Each structure stands twice: as structure tokens, then as C-alpha cells.
Amino acid sequence: MNTKHKDEWLYTISSKRKLIDFNFKEIWRYKDLLFLFVKRDIVTVYKQTVLGPLWYLIQPLFTSVIFTLVFNNLGNIGTGGVPPFLFNLAGITAWNYFKECLTKTSSTFTTNKGIFGKVYFPRVVMPLSITISNLLKFGIQLGIFLGFYCFYFFQGTEANMNQHMLLFPVYVLMMALLGLGLGMIISALTTKYRDLSILVGFAVQLLMYLSAVPYPISEAREKFPSKVALIVEYNPLTQITEGFRYMFLDTGTFTWFGFFYTLIISIALFLIGLVIFNRTEKSFIDTV
């Protein structure tokens, strides 16, 4: 212990808060905890289930089948020459990752109040670990998508990946940042007023239909009222699902404007989420 001077305090706990008050050094010190949380999430989800991680596959596959039946067979939505099943699977795979990050992180404070009420560690470790452990699920779902992709490819379907594949990691990052940012904002707001948590499940469902998951932007431009089409187009999530399909299936459109627009919004939302989350973590236990 160094106690050279009387005033050399290591840190101070006080009621005053700064607007932006991050202790990155501290978060770094807890990196092992982050990975242990990730490991815990992955290992424990499907303990004592028979099918285990196979459950990760069943949900997107069935949803794609239903979407194909409803939107493409019944609703006649064009997919630009790509097999509708593959088209839907691509959209759902991308959407699922965002959705999982959002819904899981949005309940951080309420689901962890037991442990948060007893021990201190940088709270942000929790949503971060959720986002990272969801990557595994995303990876598995991406795998099944690629499996079907190969199947269709060898059957002679024209669905070529293009050079925009290089942007793939950035897209994953954007999805994570958007889900995490929104999730942190919602989790911070739900500590005092529970209304939002009721809204989340339902809003996410609706948001999916405004994010061009079961249809391409071109169809939205053509068939939606112009104002709604505008909303769909400027929804950053639309840019992600569309871009995701574009790089894998070479269908739809890609603009650099849309790309950077989405990137900036993701980063901004993430930072706002971080600030709000950080402000809440100090005293949420009194109100949760």
C-alpha cells in the first residue's frame, strides 16, 4: 500500500455524477469476468435439453418457411430472382442477431437485480457479454444459411456473393451496436418505469416489418405509401438486412450513403446507450 500522502485516495464514492464518467481501466480489469459470463451463457442455455443447440436452427428455418408461404406464395412479393426461402432465411438470420441482442440486453437490470444488489462490478460487462455470447447463436444460424446457400448454388441458382462481403464484419458490428445501444437505453429506462419492458417484445415484432426483413426495399418503394416507404428506407435496420442480402445473394441495392448513415447511427446509439446506462447503474437498485 502506498500511503505517502494523506490525500492520495485511490477512488471516491460520492453522490455527484458526471455526465460522462467511464472507467475503461476498470472495465478492462474485469475482462476475465466478461469471458466467464460469455462462457456461462453459452454452456448453460441448453443444459438438460435433448436437442441442445439444434434449437438455434429450428426457429429461423420454420420462420423462413412460414414467411415464404405467406409473403411470397400468397402475397406475391418479388425477391429479385433469388429463391424466396433463401431470401427470407438471409433476412431472418441478420434480424435475429439484432433482436436477440436488443431483447436480452433490455432486461439487464431487472433480470440481474439479485446479483447487482449484492456485488459491484462494472454493470456494462453484463450487456457486453450478452452481445458476445449471442455471436455464437448467430454463427450457427449463419452456418445453416450457408448450408442452404451451397445447396441452392449447386442446383444452379444464380446467387453470387460479391466483393461487398469484405464489409461483412462491419455489418455484424453494426447489428451488435444497434441492439446493444437500444437495449441499454431501454434497460436503463425500465428500472423505474416498467411500461417499456412490456412494449419491447411487441415493438420488436412490429419493427421487423418496417425493417425490410420479408421484402426488398424496391418492393417497399413501389407498393407502400410514400411516407411509410421513407421510414422503411431510413430505418438503419433496413440498410442492414438489405446490405446483408446484397452481399450474399447479389439482390437489392447497396449505397455507400446508406452504409455510412447506418454506421454513424449505430455508433451514436451505442454511445447514448452507454451514457444512459452508466448514469442508471449507480442507483438503480433503489428503484428497480
Partner 1 sequence: MNNIILKVENISKQYRLGLVGTGTISHDLNRWWHRVRGKEDPFLKVGAVNDRSAATKENYVWALRDINFEVQQGEVLGIIGKNGAGKSTLLKILSKVTSPTTGEIKTKGRIASLLEVGTGFHPELTGKENIYLNGAILGMTKAEIKQKEQEIVEFSGCQMYIDTPVKRYSSGMRVRLAFAVAAFLEPDILVVDEVLAVGDAEFQKKAIGKMKDISRGDGRTVLFVSHDMGAIQSLCDRLIVLKNGYVDFSGDIPGGINHYLKISELGSSMNYANVATDFGIEKVTFLDKDRQEVNSVMVGQKLVIRVDYKNFDKRNLSLSIGFLDNFSNFKFACRSDVLDVTYKDNIGVAYMTIDKWPLSEGSYHYNLAVHESSVMLQNIKEAGSFRVEKGDFYGTGKLPGKRGSFYIEYQWE
Contact 100, 134 (CB under 8 A): yes
Q: How far is the CB of 44 from partner 1 (least distance, A)?
A: 4
Q: Does 53 sit near partner 1 (CB under 8 A)? A: no
Applying CB under 8 A, the span of 26-34, 52-60, 205-213, 222-230 interacting with partner 1 comes to 26-34
Q: Would you mind telling me the total number of residues written for the chain in this entry?
A: 288
Cβ proximity to partner 1, 116 vs 270, nearer residue: 116
Say how many Å lie between the first and final Cα of the chain, rounded: 37
Q: How far is the CB of 196 from partner 1 (least distance, A)?
A: 14
- The residue within the footprint of partner 1, chosen from 119, 195, 206, 256 (CB under 8 A), is 119
Applying CB under 8 A, the span of 43-51, 81-89, 101-109, 158-166 interacting with partner 1 comes to 43-51
Q: Does 168 sit near partner 1 (CB under 8 A)? A: no
Rg of the chain on CA atoms, in Å: 21
Of 64, 63, 62, 41, which is closest to residue 53 (Cα–Cα)?
41
- The residue within the footprint of partner 1, chosen from 71, 109, 116, 244 (CB under 8 A), is 116
Position 27: which residue type?
A: I
- Tell me the CA distances in angstroms from 115 to 22, 105, 108, 121, 189, one per residue in order: 21, 16, 11, 10, 19
Cβ proximity to partner 1, 30 vs 254, nearer residue: 30
Q: How far apart are CA 100 and CA 33, in angstroms?
A: 21
Cβ proximity to partner 1, 242 vs 281, nearer residue: 281
Give residue for cell 462490478.
121
- The residue within the footprint of partner 1, chosen from 19, 24, 25, 32 (CB under 8 A), is 32
Applying CB under 8 A, the span of 81-89, 110-118, 127-135, 180-188 interacting with partner 1 comes to 110-118
Q: How far apart are CA 160 and CA 109, in angstroms?
A: 43
- Tell me the CA distances in angstroms from 149 to 61, 146, 157, 212, 242, one per residue in order: 13, 5, 9, 20, 17
Q: How far is the CB of 286 from partner 1 (least distance, A)?
A: 6
Q: How far apart are CA 285 and CA 288, in angstroms?
A: 5
Chain centroid, CA 187 distance in Å = 14
Cβ proximity to partner 1, 154 vs 193, nearer residue: 193
Cβ proximity to partner 1, 111 vs 255, nearer residue: 111
Q: Does 51 sit near partner 1 (CB under 8 A)? A: no
Chain residues binding partner 1 by CB under 8 A are 1, 3, 6, 8-15, 17, 29-30, 32-33, 35-37, 40, 43-44, 47-48, 114-121, 192, 282-283, 285-287
